[in-house]
Amino acid sequence: MRQILKSYLKAYFKNWIEAIGLILFIVIIVATFAGVLSGALQFKIIYNNIANSSQEWDFYFTGRSPYKAKFIQDYYLNNIFVNQDGNVETVTDSGDSIIDKNSEWWVNVKKTCANNSNPANRTNCEDLAITKKLNDVYQNQGKMSHDGLTPSGVAYLGKFNYNRWNELLFRILKSPRLDWGFAISNELIAKSTKNDNLTLNFVPTPLIDLTNSKVANFNQLHLFAGQLPGEDNTIAVSSLFAKQHNLSIGSEVSLGDNAPSFTVSGIASTLNTMLRIEPIGSNHANTSGLNNYGVIYLPQSKIYQLLGSSWVKEREKALDYVFSTQQMVMIKLNNSDPETLLSLKKALGQVFVNPSGTLLSFNESGLAVQMQNINLQIILYAVMGSVLLGLGFIFINYAMKKEMNKTRRQIGIFKAFGYRTAELAWVFTVKFFITMLLGALVGYAISLPIQMYVNKLYTIGLLVPFDLIYIAWWFLVLLFVAMPVLFTVISFGLILLHLKLPSLDLINLASKKRITFFETFLKTITVKAPFLFRLQLSFMMRTFSKWLIVMVIFFISSLLFILQFNASDIFKQLTVRTNLIYQNSVDHKFDFGTKLTASEVKNIGGHETLQLLNVDNFRLIPTLNAEQTAQESLQNFHSLVQSIIEGGECKDLAKFASYQPIYQSIYFDDLLAIIKFVKSCGAAENLPGWLTNIEKLSSQLDQTKVKTIISFNQLMYNPTAEALGVTLPVSPSENEQTVIDDITIKGLSQTLADDFYYLPGISENVINEVINFSAGRTNIPAIISKKIAKLANLNVNDHYQFVVKNAIGSFPIAIVVKGIINDDTIRRNIFISEQAIQSYYRDAQGAIMPSFYNNLLSKNQLIQEKINLKEILMQKQSFKVTVQNLTINLFNQDLDVTIGQLLTNNFNAADVASFTNLNNVTMINLERLLLAAGMELFNNSLLILQVLNGLIIFIILAVVTTSVIDEASDIILTMRALGYRTRDINFIVIGNYILGIIFAFFAAYLLSLLIWHFVLAMVFTNYQLVINLPLNWQTPVLTGTIIATILGFAWVLAMYLIKKRKLQELTI
């Protein structure tokens, strides 16, 4: 038996062309599969490993949401809290309030806030003062004297590490029935001003579930190496930070001369810190990638110690760092009952105006969205990889069967000599195993550059270990052991069945018994068909098994190509439809820096309206030439700056202080010159935030083509290329059983509908109905995206209730769906009448306001310099923007206010705000270009698949065509001798193969639609990702073109092989 095996293996390698063809087939499959799937699999496995110990949560929120009217004063000043059941409780056990109403500090606050003429403004002023006081207590950790707090208040806050946020949430979120668990992550961020802007994020671990005072079962630390940090000054660090700064277990980490030192005990990550993606924008460009960012994990008590340490408190000794804090509240429901979510909203409703607006869903967080895309890729690539492997298995078994047919007499003789069928089958199985193993080894080697190219996309923003070349043991075992062995075992069984014929049948070349029903049926229905067609049919029936194999192979191949093009269509949806609602000419959008804040809900003239606190006293000035419109004030300020700089005396700054900026315009460069001069006078620390931020903008602005102008209290824009808009931030009502993040209703006007927005599939009648709705809070006609429709389960004519997010009082509105933008599957877009939004607001005196807006859409080109899109996509390149007009709005100021008054008065953010500044810009066109660049990278990886797949199919068809023509050589030569032309013979021999392939193609297309229907339904159910069924006429056309091209090559090959046969071979 050993000699027989050696003989067959020698013959296998001697026929090296066929052997290389089979091995090449597996090489292509493995290279494709390993190259494009390894990155997505690795990311998924990393995520799952972290999620096993650092589990997902359901909802979260950060920062401070709007409180109910007077809640802060009732809670902190009057010691009153109303629980879920409506019962009044005291806040502190002693009965004393947290804020001391008799303190000098509170008396001064009351006196200052009394200057506001509007009572609502006075309340808001007092609430802000209380909030600031409590934040100061938190920052200093009770180590400084705090005038304004009672001793009981200080002791009470001390229980919660002086954090008012902790104690308040503990009270409102602690569920008596344990319906949910919640934890609060209080983080400290230290940003170095010298060490390449190194940013360190101190994250607490372990998190404590405040419902039961146990370690939370979500977002806990996952260790890659080492041990958990403890109270002994040990820390864990993020793996990327450790790698880039050469840190290992036991390394000492010193943060500076005046800073504490730590010992690294572990390399780790939590779920919410494994990924960090910066927003795309000129001020967020990061030329060093993530080299300047690190996460440090340590107990919460250690973070509180840092907050109270001299490193944070004594700022004059710690000028190398800028400190800030951030808090994140994570909530995990213990059951999926819809009533639980409503109970959670009710608990939050004790304190917040809009409980639904407070909550954010984990499924819509940046990390979850990234995982949705990864899971989608894995599904797509796994389906295509499985189809490819199935195709390879069928083809290699076909080749083996072909070889067995050639050696049937020998096999029959061996069986007659007493060799068992299993032994003979093993000979061919070993050849099959060698083919699979060599193909896997060479294929993986070829996949390495593909992995390097594709996997770079997965490293963007990733803070955990990730290999560009994936060498995980299980992955290699799967490729080199499991896959060859599995297919070898299946092949052994099939070969065994083929060799079970009796020895005499094998020696005499007798075939297996055939089922004649199908042949008889075909003969019956084609009895009157033309002779050539019946002759063609007889050829097909003579080699029916080969014909059937080819049909299966081409059916799978067509399905594979269609799935690949569908995958491209799906990712195109995810990219192109991100900013679908804007016309292609729209370049960017500015959102004004200050929200429209209502003091209370008032009933005026029978209608409830929102009374505004921050009435905007700026003018909107449309202009085609900003410099010409503002020429006089520009020249006046330029002359003032020149006189100050040329004088060179610091006392000349008094001229600048007396300048009245209201309704004036100045050159950006002139203001920069003043700031530079102020610094030379040593007075820079007195500059307010709005002025010091101007200097930071200089690194982001490109003024080579346009001279940037800053306007005060006037917004200059070009009406031919720009349009003003108004939006309304909302969230689902607490009565709705959904949590949907990031909903901003857009006001629709005729100008915006005609020239700026793109609303495909919405009729003119519906658009006009929406635009013409002038006022009202119920039955508001609305156009919504399909994303919103799916998330809220809405159809046309359905109703849905929202609550305005930025209202201090609850202000619900209800829409009725009039149109759904089916192509808008990515964003949560809702359009209602612009007039309706504006009708909801009144000024402080209750009077109807003139038209007001809070955003600007522009067709002007924001980025004019040449940029490398792929470098920006990888966060490795910065860029500058071209802006002609920047506007600073000074809220609620007298018209004669001077810069000197603005410098000396401590105005808060509600008084001074930048309207059109770069932090509030959405770079629509840049997003399009970046998404297109990302799509190009994806299509490049897909193109590798498509080219290799095309090569695979041609190899298959070439082998089958050669086999068919070889077996029919006598008949082909006889027909040539009878005078049949070559193309007629070719049509007779392989014509039915071509017709069958065409039918297989159409069947594959229909099956692909069915597959995608179920896959996309599963994707939405599991990942809340809305994707339309990829119906694109280009897909079947492109697939058909590829298949036709391959068939064309096969036809040419067959013609060549037929012509190659010499007529004299007929007598041989």
Tell me: the pLDDT tens digits for 486-532?
A: 877 877 777 777 667 666 555 555 455 555 555 555 555 555 556 56
The length of the chain, given as a count of residues: 1068
Percent of the chain scored above 70 by pLDDT? Answer: 68
Q: Which of 266, 222, 230 is nearest to 247 (CA)?
A: 266
Radius of gyration of the CA atoms of the chain, in A: 37
- DSSP for residue 513: P
Q: Are residues 822 and 912 in the same domain?
A: no
Residue 834 lies in a domain: yes
Q: Which of 862, 827, 647, 822 is nearest to 742 (CA)?
A: 827
Q: Which residues pair with 348 in a beta bridge?
A: none
Alpha carbons 870 and 893: distance in angstroms, whole number: 46
Q: Which of 826, 766, 823, 828 is nearest to 797 (CA)?
A: 766
Q: Which of 453, 486, 513 marks a domain boundary?
A: 513
Pair of tokens at residue 976: 């040539």
Q: Is the pLDDT of residue 636 over 70?
A: yes
Q: Are residues 803 and 837 in the same domain?
A: yes
Alpha carbons 1025 and 132: distance in angstroms, whole number: 40
- DSSP for residue 352: B
pLDDT digits (tens, 9 = 90+) for 330-342: 888 888 777 788 8
Q: Which of 742-746, 761-765, 968-972 has the lowest mean pLDDT?
A: 968-972
Residue 239 lies in a domain: yes
Q: What is the mean pLDDT of residues 264-285?
A: 71
Q: What is the mean pLDDT of residues 370-394?
A: 70
Q: Where are the alpha helices (DSSP H) in 65-118?
A: 71-72, 104-113
Q: Are residues 155 and 239 in the same domain?
A: no
Q: Are residues 952 and 1002 in the same domain?
A: yes
In degrees to the nearest 10, what's the CA dihedral of 589, 594, 596, 599? 170
Average per-residue pLDDT for the chain: 75
What pLDDT does residue 76 have? 86
Most confident range, picked from 406-415, 792-801, 923-932: 792-801
Q: Are residues 930 and 908 in the same domain?
A: no
Residue 225 lies in a domain: yes
Q: Which of 125, 149, 175 marks a domain boundary?
A: 175
State how far the alpha carbon of 301 is from the alpha carbons of 141, 233, 297, 304, 687, in Å.
11, 11, 12, 5, 36
Q: Which of 915, 920, 730, 929 is nearest to 832 (CA)?
A: 730
Q: Are residues 748 and 803 in the same domain?
A: yes
- The b/e string for 431-464 (b: 16+ C-beta within 10 A; e otherwise) is bbbbbbbbbbbbbbebbbebbebbbebbbbbbbb
SS3 861: coil
Tokens 């905007």 belong to residue: 616
- DSSP for residue 597: -
Residue 318 lies in a domain: yes
Q: Are residues 393 and 463 in the same domain?
A: yes
pLDDT band, very low/low/confident/very high, at 283 (cuts 50, 70, 90): very low
Residue 800 lies in a domain: yes
CB contact set of 349 (below 8 Å; sequence gap of 6+): 355, 734
pLDDT digits (tens, 9 = 90+) for 843-857: 766 777 767 788 889
Asked if the peptide bond before residue 661 counts as cis, ω within 30 degrees of 0, the response is no
Contacts 24+ apart (CB under 8 A), 1040-1045: 1040/1001, 1042/561, 1042/946, 1042/950, 1043/554, 1043/557, 1043/558, 1043/561, 1043/953, 1043/997, 1043/1001, 1045/950
What pLDDT does residue 284 have? 42
Higher pLDDT, 1010 or 373: 1010
pLDDT digits (tens, 9 = 90+) for 939-954: 776 676 667 667 766 7
Tally of domains within the chain? 6
Q: Are residues 713 and 693 in the same domain?
A: yes
Q: What is the mean pLDDT of residues 432-437?
A: 79
Alpha carbons 260 and 312: distance in angstroms, whole number: 10
φ and ψ of 81, to 5 deg: -135, 135
Higher pLDDT, 498 or 466: 466
Structural contact between residues 490 and 394, judged by C-beta atoms closer than 8 angstroms: no
Distance of CA 70 to the CA centre of its chain: 39
Q: Is the pLDDT of residue 345 over 90?
A: no
Q: Which of 81-95, 305-319, 752-766 has the lowest mean pLDDT?
A: 305-319
Higher pLDDT, 886 or 619: 886
Alpha carbons 781 and 784: distance in angstroms, whole number: 10
Q: Are residues 140 and 187 in the same domain?
A: no
Q: Which of 479, 480, 452, 448 is nearest to 466 (CA)?
A: 452
Distance of CA 670 to the CA centre of its chain: 41
What pLDDT does residue 143 have? 64
Q: What is the mean pLDDT of residues 230-242?
A: 86
Percent of the chain scored above 90 by pLDDT? Answer: 6
pLDDT digits (tens, 9 = 90+) for 388-429: 667 666 766 666 666 666 666 666 666 666 667 777 677 777
- DSSP for residue 296: E
Q: Are residues 163 and 226 in the same domain?
A: no
Alpha carbons 482 and 490: distance in angstroms, whole number: 12
Tokens 């671990």 belong to residue: 205
Higher pLDDT, 1036 or 88: 88
Structural contact between residues 454 and 374, judged by C-beta atoms closer than 8 angstroms: no
- DSSP for residue 619: E
Higher pLDDT, 331 or 454: 331
How is 916-980 classified by DSSP, letter by letter? S-GGGEE-HHHHHHHHHHHHHHHHHHHHHHHHHHHHHHHHHHHHHHHHHHHHTHHHHHHHHHTT-
What pLDDT does residue 101 have? 86
Q: Where are the alpha helices (DSSP H) in 577-688?
A: 626-629, 631-647, 653-657, 668-680
Cα-Cα-Cα-Cα dihedral sign, residues 280, 281, 284, 286: positive
Q: Is the pLDDT of residue 1068 over 50?
A: no
What pLDDT does residue 164 have? 64
Higher pLDDT, 942 or 94: 94
Q: Is the pLDDT of residue 780 over 90?
A: yes
Q: Is the pLDDT of residue 751 over 90?
A: yes
Structural contact between residues 688 and 903, judged by C-beta atoms closer than 8 angstroms: yes
Q: Are residues 184 and 329 in the same domain?
A: yes
Q: Which residues pair with 800 in a beta bridge?
A: 815
CB contact set of 350 (below 8 Å; sequence gap of 6+): 81, 82, 83, 84, 172
pLDDT band, very low/low/confident/very high, at 285 (cuts 50, 70, 90): very low
- DSSP for residue 468: S
pLDDT band, very low/low/confident/very high, at 297 (cuts 50, 70, 90): very high
Q: Is the pLDDT of residue 765 over 90?
A: yes
Biggest CA–CA distance in the chain, Å, is 122
- DSSP for residue 478: I
pLDDT digits (tens, 9 = 90+) for 562-609: 777 777 777 776 666 677 889 989 998 988 766 666 666 767 666 677
Alpha carbons 858 and 606: distance in angstroms, whole number: 38
Most confident range, picked from 11-15, 379-383, 553-557, 638-642: 638-642
Q: Which of 470, 488, 513 marks a domain boundary?
A: 513
Residue 379 lies in a domain: no
Q: Is the pLDDT of residue 671 over 80?
A: yes
Most confident range, picked from 237-241, 675-679, 802-806, 822-826: 237-241
Q: Is the pLDDT of residue 910 over 50?
A: no
How is 645-661 classified by DSSP, letter by letter? HHH--GGGHHHHHT---
Most confident range, picked from 65-79, 211-225, 744-758, 947-961: 744-758
The burial of 781, by beta-carbon neighbours within 10 Å (0-12 exposed, 13-18 middle, 19 or more buried), is given as buried
Q: Which of 778, 842, 816, 629 is nearest to 715 (CA)?
A: 629
What pLDDT does residue 819 have? 94
Structural contact between residues 277 and 181, judged by C-beta atoms closer than 8 angstroms: no
What pLDDT does residue 287 have? 38
First to last CA, the chain: 35
pLDDT band, very low/low/confident/very high, at 689 (cuts 50, 70, 90): low
Range of the domain at 476: 1-56+389-513
Q: Is the pLDDT of residue 294 over 90?
A: no
pLDDT band, very low/low/confident/very high, at 207 (cuts 50, 70, 90): confident
Cα-Cα-Cα-Cα dihedral sign, residues 531, 533, 536, 542: negative
What pLDDT does residue 496 have? 73
Residue 357 lies in a domain: no
Residue 610 lies in a domain: no
Q: What is the mean pLDDT of residues 249-264?
A: 81
- The b/e string for 310-345 (b: 16+ C-beta within 10 A; e otherwise) is ebbbeeeebebbebebebbbbbbbeeeeeebbebbb
Q: What is the mean pLDDT of residues 171-182?
A: 78
What pLDDT does residue 58 have? 87
Contacts 24+ apart (CB under 8 A), 973-977: 973/1061, 973/1063, 973/1065, 973/1066, 974/1066, 976/1058, 976/1061, 976/1063, 977/1063, 977/1066
Q: Are residues 198 and 227 in the same domain?
A: yes
